[in-house]
Structure 1
Amino acid sequence: MATPKISIIIPTLNEAKLIGSLLQHLFQTSDKKNIAEILVIDGGSTDQTVQTALKFGASVHKAKRGRASQMNLGASKAVGDILYFLHADTLPPKNFDLFIVQAVEEKSQSGCFRMRFDSKNPVLRFFAWLSRINHTLCRGGDQSLFVTKEVFFGNGGFNENYLIYEDSEFIGRLYKHAHFKVLPQRVTTSARKYRQKGWLKVQFHFAMIHLKNYLGAGPDELYRYYSKKLL
């Protein structure tokens, strides 16, 4: 059987400062034989995100704003067998494509990498360490996400009612219906929100969002809380 190929899907909104370096990193750290395409799904950027993404060789599609709807559009456009969802401020490890393909060939239908922040803050380093634990409480979009196309559509994709927490909500469904593997290599993700808002404030309110979801809060209530506390 042919080796499965990866479609990389990157939702963006005003990421001109990061998208070029991310795309360059992806080309330098992967083997093009494993990559079917890189899709940048833009939610209405007013900076040079789209132009920069095109310059660095990505395919760009415009979508309504909202990561869930952007990523769903990317999945609908993808030609690869494996969908790899990646934030613009997250850098995968070298040979990430090989690790993902091997995991899928070994029957892991979905999964992510461990993570680290681009910060030496001891509290952030501790929370990043927790990403090695294979439990839904330790999952998030910053760890990136791979999933076979069949499993993605079989589980309904991202719930577009969620303007935040869409990654965690979808991953929770994947844990119930697919084999989810946490790969030992690490992505490096930006701690920019922690720098902007304060690490203690951000971590506290993210914990509250997790708690509210656990207690049954819906997508509108989660977004209202996020908007009030962290926007």
Structure 2
Amino acid sequence: MSQAEISIIIPTLNESAHIGGLLTHLNQNAHKRGRLEILVVDGGSSDDTQQIAIAHGARFICADRGRAVQMNTGAQMAQGSILYFLHADTLPPVQFDQLILNKLSNTCEAGSFRMRFDHSSRFLGLFAWLTRWNFPICRGGDQSLFLTKSLFESSGGFNENYRIYEDGEFIRRLYKLTDFDLIQRPVTTSARKYEEKGLFNLQFHFGMIHAKRYLGAGPQELYAYYKNHIEPPNPRRGNL
């Protein structure tokens, strides 16, 4: 098989409930499966994530725990000239690979998709609707992120000091480095954390994290707030 054009990098930690469905979805909805390399970069799962990923044909890579570390590790080992960072509970649209190639062939070096939740809440629908606008404040990792590998390397990649908000910090740097663009087709992301924590409660705390970051809070302060208000440490949960 010829070398892959797009390397899909999926960080995982105990994602056995979702990884099989995602990998099946990617294989069934790619325009050309042969142009893809799929890397599942795991931070030490204790469930069946590894077995499921390998059974679905993904390349399984072990890394130190932490989504920034895991995604940087995947990028270093990726063979494609395009990197596509995707959460384990997010499903891209039909022919997502061709949509990415079309966008990057048009002078664009980085971008993301719009987003929708797998939930009927109008409250969540409002925040999903905001992702159609091309402003840094409307971006997040659950919308998925694609960029050229050359830009990833020149930018320095994800800042591994961030235990949370690593996607937001990196995307805001990309907006300063290049013409960041959007694909106006949505990925579908899971609302599982909202269902567990409460829709309004979780969105309030996410809003506080964004506000703290804009006011100058560093990675340790953001992580401390996350631990105190959103998710106490629990090794059996999935990735941050």
Q: How does the TM-score come out when normalised to structure 1?
A: 0.97
Q: What whole-Å deviation, never above 9, does each CA across 1:9-38 have from its counterpart, x for those lacking one?
A: 000000001000100000000012331x10
Within 5 A, what are the aligned runs for 1:1-231?
5-30=5-30, 31-35=32-36, 37-231=37-231
Distance in 1, matches of 2:136 and 2:104, equals 20
Question: Is the Cα contact below 8 Å between 1:4 and 1:101 reproduced in 2?
Answer: no
Distance in 2, matches of 1:3 and 1:15, equals 28
Q: Percent identity?
A: 58
Amino acid at match of 1:217: A
Distance in 2, matches of 1:154 and 1:178, equals 12
Shift of 1:107: 1.3
- The number of equivalent residue pairs is 229
Q: What whole-Å deviation, never above 9, does each CA across 1:170-217 have from its counterpart, x for those lacking one?
A: 000000001211100100000000000000010000000000000000
Alignment correspondent of 2:234: none
Amino acid at match of 1:53: A
Question: Is the Cα contact below 8 Å between 1:34 and 1:98 reproduced in 2?
Answer: no
* SS of residue paired to 1:181: strand
* SS of residue paired to 1:147: strand
Q: What whole-Å deviation, never above 9, does each CA across 1:143-164 have from its counterpart, x for those lacking one?
A: 0000100000110000000000
Distance in 1, matches of 2:224 and 2:4, equals 40
* SS of residue paired to 2:7: strand
Amino acid at match of 1:5: E
Question: Is the Cα contact below 8 Å between 2:41 and 2:63 reproduced in 1?
Answer: yes
Distance in 2, matches of 1:33 and 1:90, equals 21
Amino acid at match of 1:223: Y
Distance in 1, matches of 2:4 and 2:135, equals 26
**Structure 2 CA distance for partners of 1:52 and 1:72, relative to 1, 3 Å:** same
Q: Bigger shift: 113-122 or 4-13?
A: 4-13
Question: Is the Cα contact below 8 Å between 2:110 and 2:146 reproduced in 1?
Answer: yes
* SS of residue paired to 1:16: coil
Q: How does the TM-score come out when normalised to structure 2?
A: 0.94
